[in-house]
Amino acid sequence: MSHTSQPGEADRSASKSKAPAVIHYFNSSGEWIAFRREKNDRHLFDKQGNWIGWFPWDETEVVDVNGDYLGTVIDGDRIYRRTTYQPPKPRPGVPVYPGNVGYVGYPGFTSYCTPPRGFEDVDTNWTYAERHHLVMRSRAKQRKKMGFLQRFLTKLRRVMHALKEPVDPIGR
């Protein structure tokens, strides 16, 4: 007896197998740090599903949501930050906020891999406040939602982070 398929049965099974494949990215110790929803997705999300950056030029260079360099994809699944000087690329435009993606599932660890010369692990210790500040759509909205002191401390924290000097702005 041969099995005869119903009309459209092959179409349904083909569409199930075409589910988008999440692309996970890791640091040098093999810890999962970020993901993309699929290969053609230009947006990068952290482990909690918060939007942290995007790929404006190609599949290797990642910038944060403000357009500043975030890292470089190496070996297909590692994101490292360049430590050597690189001529700046043109400023990318402003991407459209991709919305909330939620949690995609834990992929586990991968093997340890020493970063190439001139690269280091991307800093993934962003606080919620810093991430929230990056996602603010415009300075006008930001000013309406934040008081003067909060705006001042946010700017000061950004400057101190750029200088890589841990300083407590309150002086405790």
Mapping DSSP to helix (H, G, I), strand (E, B) and coil, where does residue 91 land?
Answer: coil
- pTM, 2 dp: 0.63
Tokens of 70: 């975030």
Per-residue pLDDT reduced to its tens digit, 9-26: 444 444 455 556 899 999
pLDDT at residue 108, as a whole number: 85
Q: Quote the number of domains for the chain.
A: 2
**What are the respective helix, strand and coil percentages of the chain, to the nearest 5?**
25, 20, 55
pLDDT at residue 62, as a whole number: 92
* 99 and 155 together in one domain: no
* 51 and 116 together in one domain: yes
Per-residue pLDDT reduced to its tens digit, 73-129: 999 999 999 998 888 788 887 788 888 787 788 898 899 999 999 999 998 775 444
Q: For residue 91, give its domain range.
A: 21-123
pLDDT at residue 9, as a whole number: 47
Let me know if residue 3 belongs to a domain: no
